[in-house]
Structure 1
Amino acid sequence: WVLEEKPDWKDNYIVDMRSEKWHDILLERVIPEISAKGYRGLFLDTIDTASALYANDPDKYTGILNAPAEIIRKIKIRFPDLMLIPNNGLDLFDSFGSDVDAVFFFFLYGMPDFENGSYFRADQNDSDNKTKLLKSIRKKYSLPVFIVDYADENNRKTVLNFIKMNKKNKFKPYIAEKELSRMYQQDSI
């Protein structure tokens, strides 16, 4: 059920979300341990992996598009007070939108270039389409939308522009460096 290491994120692995073993580890061990330490929520990173796996090999990954909703429902039933925030997975959101507490999305405007160690602006059409979809999800489910964009900390104009664009859309922006080891000063606009 552990498939492969993510190429841009060392020590982070893609899992087959259909795996009952993975579900059991989360529900029987990981989440109870986290809850016992006082944490009140889970960030469900890269929910969109299900879509990517299916797109690459639909025969091998039959049923994987239902897996995010299935594990989210299992968590909600077992831990009803735990806040759940999925990362990405906008194409699957309708399958679990009523069971989560926020929308989280990376790379709306700024993206990291891992090969060159720099940053670049996301495609404008893609940003516009994602913005419309995020607004639609926010309206349909009455959820806050959190955005993490990437930019060079020394490029204050870009950082402030990303913050301004996100706030214009009533999204909660966070601008970070590509390793996500810190968020920049989120200046008021």
Structure 2
Amino acid sequence: MKSAMPSVRKIPLYARMVMGLFLSLPIGEMQAGAEFAADSIVFYYGDRPAVDRLSRFDLAVVEPDTGFSPPKEGETRTRWFAYVSVGEVSRSREYYKAIPASWIAGYNKEWRSDVIDQTAEGWPEFMTERIIAPLWKRGYTGFFLDTLDSYQLVARDALDRRDSQAGLIAVIRAIRQRFPTARLILNRGFELLPATHEHVYAVAFESLFKGWSEARGQYVDVPEDDRKWLLDRVDEVKRQYGLPVIAIDYCPSAQYQCLKETVERIRALDMIPYVGDGRLQQVNDALLD
């Protein structure tokens, strides 16, 4: 857990510096979502990405720690995104040992990963130089930023949440400052959009109709109240920011009817669907036919 903080807290210096730098960027370099043109997306975190299957989709999000590097630009029509966890870090990551112990704010038991203190002074630079830069060098020009709400696991009050949000905003802006043409898809992060929407390519979220419980190892139906909350956020994203929305749901890969019906329900709400198995270890491309 984070150490006690003083009673009067301000937005960290690094966050204010990064925010100030971006106020001077030309608006044309900040409109990341304006270029979006895609009807299909796949999320595959297995260890053997098959380029021929993944290339059937407009966008492909893969786990880069498998050693997979995307084809060179122009070799496929697909835009390739690397999965990047911002709010948490698994101890199996190559860069884990380089993270100072003081940056670890807590532990997520369900996914067995450490929660990062987003107010840590060097975190935005670490993210851009140690995590994003090597992936960019390997050919990834898009990044799926996950675990953007993990600070909620350790935040003690509204001021903690505000400071963590400022840290996340600084991370997103630092990535776009370092790589102005990078395409960023946020997994949720709805509360960050007022300050970051100019840098966002699309917004994704999980479990609209069908979800996956890692703790229980089973598929679950999403309660109506949870769905209503998500659809209200989707409406805000579309109405206020004009950003594309991607909905990721989960069905057993052998249950084609569940896959098909869930995709159709998502499409009917004018969102880009992907319905996969709970751990995204298989490519569900049959619905493209």
- TM-score band (shorter)? 0.7 to 0.9
What is the distance in 2 between the residues matched to 1:177 and 1:143? 26
2 CA distance for matches of 1:107 and 1:52? 19
1:97-116 → structure 2 map (5 Å cutoff)? 97-116=197-216
2:101 equivalent to 1:16: no
Cα pair 2:267 2:273 within 8 Å, conserved? yes
For normalisation by structure 1, the TM-score amounts to 0.86
Give the corresponding residue for 1:41: 142
**Identity within the alignment, %:** 24
Question: Displacement of 1:100 after TM fit?
Answer: 1.0
Supply the distance in 1 between the matched residues of 2:162 and 2:229 (Cα, whole angstroms): 27
Q: Report 1:9-158 matches (<5 A).
A: 9-10=111-112, 12-54=113-155, 56-58=156-158, 63-158=163-258
SS in 2 for 1:43: strand
**Are the counterparts in 2 of residues 45 and 86 from structure 1 also a CA contact under 8 Å?**
yes
| Closer, same or farther: CA 131–114 of 1 in aligned 2, 3 Å | same
Q: Note the C-alpha offset of 1:97.
A: 1.7
The alpha carbon displacement at 1:7 in A equals 2.2
Query: Tell me, which stretches of 5 or more residues in structure 2 are unaligned?
Result: 1-102
Conservation of the 8 A alpha-carbon contact between 2:105 and 2:154: no
Contact 1:51–1:65 under 8 Å retained in 2:
no
Is the CA contact (8 Å cut-off) linking 2:183 and 2:201 kept in structure 1? yes
Q: Relative contact order (C-alpha < 8 Å, sep 6+): which is higher?
A: 2
**SS of 1:125's equivalent?**
helix
Q: Contact 2:124–2:170 (CA<8 Å) still a contact in 1?
A: no
Where does residue 164 of structure 1 map in the other structure?
264
Gaps of 5+ in 1: none
Post-superposition Cα deviations, 1:140-161, rounded to whole Å, max 9, x if no partner, equal 2222211111112233332222
Match of 2:109 in 1: 7
The structure-2 alpha-carbon separation of the partners of 1:100 and 1:59, relative to structure 1 and needing over 3 Å to count, comes to closer
Larger gyration radius, structure 1 or structure 2: 2
Q: Deviations over 1:108-141 (max 9, x none)?
A: 2211133442211111122122113213202322
Superposition deviation, residue 9 in structure 1: 2.2
